[in-house]
């Protein structure tokens, strides 16, 4: 009898544990984990609907900070969330769900449907002004660069610097635009390396210049000019070639000396 009672109590305890786990599982799958934020707004412990309501009620100051210092005083706007964004919040809820409750700090980025971007241009301008000022006493990084000369392409070595990268900071601005206030951190510019995609593209474009020939005709005489005869040095950046054609000037001078009749005596009938 005593053995039977123990079995019964054990079974009831197991049911209670399973029931507790089930209730806990249901709760934390329908509520955000406690240290979750969306665009910097705390939504821990909230349901999807409550989180949406909190996000929608927020005001965006549009202030921009760089390294903790305010560099742009924005004009306050609404959050930009609409009912169309409820599904986005629900999706985030599912993404952050864990088997057991988690205390991990996680910030999810969610772009509101009607996000006001009217101050974006002014923000970027403020960032450039601030970074230019910070860079006054810093050393600019030098990218690796492909150079064509003597029918071959070489790549210069990159040089590290200490100057901040404006474009990277502005890119981070776009990622934080939906936040109440925008907290940016200045990052040092990393120079392009010899193995970067951009430099490889330069190399491929410059190799096309090697071993080319053209025929230059003056009256009844033709001159064959090679790449070396025309180009002293060339680079390729931003989709365009840049040429040093001092070599061509010399070839034209030679042809002109041989062909020109100005100042020369000649016989005629």
Q: What's the DSSP call for residue 152? A: E
CB atoms within 10 A of CB 116: 16
* 251 touches 229 (CB < 8 A): yes
Q: At what angle do helices 48-57 and 86-96 cross, to 10 degrees?
A: 130
pLDDT score at 11: 45
For the ranges 50-54, 147-151, 197-201, 263-267, the lowest mean pLDDT is seen at 263-267
- DSSP assignment of 225-255 equals EEHHHH-SEEEEETTEEEEE-HHHHHHHHHH
Residue 19: its pLDDT value, please? 46
Quickly tell me which residue has 């409750």 as its tokens: 101
**Is the predicted pLDDT of residue 49 greater than 50, yes or no?**
yes
- In this prediction, residue 96 carries a pLDDT of 93
Q: How far apart, in whole angstroms, are the C-alpha atoms of residue 51 and residue 43?
A: 6
- What's residue 104's pLDDT? 93
Spatial distance between the Cα atoms of 171 and 126, rounded to a whole number of angstroms: 14
pLDDT of residue 120: 95
Higher pLDDT, 226 or 218: 226
- The span from the CA of 28 to the CA of 10, in Å, is 27
Q: What is the rounded average pLDDT for all residues in the chain? A: 87
Is the predicted pLDDT of residue 73 greater than 60, yes or no? yes
CA distance 92 to 95: 5
β-strands 233-237, 106-108: how paired?
A: unpaired
What is the domain partition of the chain in residue ranges?
2-58+79-114, 211-259
**Are the C-beta atoms of residues 71 and 166 closer than 8 Å to each other?**
no
Instruction: Quote the tokens at residue 102.
Output: 């988690």
CB atoms within 10 A of CB 242: 10
**Cα angle value 261/265/269 (rounded, 5°):** 95
Q: What is the pLDDT of residue 173?
A: 93
The residue-averaged pLDDT of 101-112 equals 92
């Amino acid at each position: 009898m005593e053995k039977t009672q123990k079995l019964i109590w054990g079974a009831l305890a197991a049911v209670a544990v399973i029931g507790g786990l089930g209730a806990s599982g249901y709760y934390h799958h329908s509520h955000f984990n406690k240290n979750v934020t969306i665009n910097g707004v705390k939504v821990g412990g909230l349901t999807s609907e409550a989180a949406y309501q909190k996000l929608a009620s927020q005001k965006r100051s549009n202030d921009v900070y760089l390294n903790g210092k305010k560099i742009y005083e924005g004009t306050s706007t609404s959050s930009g969330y609409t009912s169309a964004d409820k599904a986005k919040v629900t999706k985030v809820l599912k993404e952050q769900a864990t088997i057991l409750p988690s205390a991990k700090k996680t910030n999810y980025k969610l772009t509101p449907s009607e996000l006001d971007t009217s101050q974006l241009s002014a923000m970027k301008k403020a960032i450039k002004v601030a970074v230019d000022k910070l860079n006054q006493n810093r050393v600019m990084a030098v990218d690796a660069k492909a150079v064509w000369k003597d029918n071959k392409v070489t790549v210069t070595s990159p040089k590290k610097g200490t100057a901040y990268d404006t474009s990277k900071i502005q890119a981070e601005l776009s990622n934080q635009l939906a936040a109440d206030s925008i907290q940016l951190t200045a990052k040092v510019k990393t120079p392009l390396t010899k193995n970067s995609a951009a430099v490889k593209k330069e190399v491929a474009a410059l190799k096309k210049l090697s071993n080319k020939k053209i025929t230059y005709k003056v009256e009844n005489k033709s001159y064959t000019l090679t790449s070396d005869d025309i180009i002293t040095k060339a680079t390729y950046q931003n989709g365009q070639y840049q040429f040093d054609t001092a070599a061509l000037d010399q070839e034209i001078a030679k042809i002109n000396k041989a062909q020109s009749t100005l100042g020369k005596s000649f016989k005629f009938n």
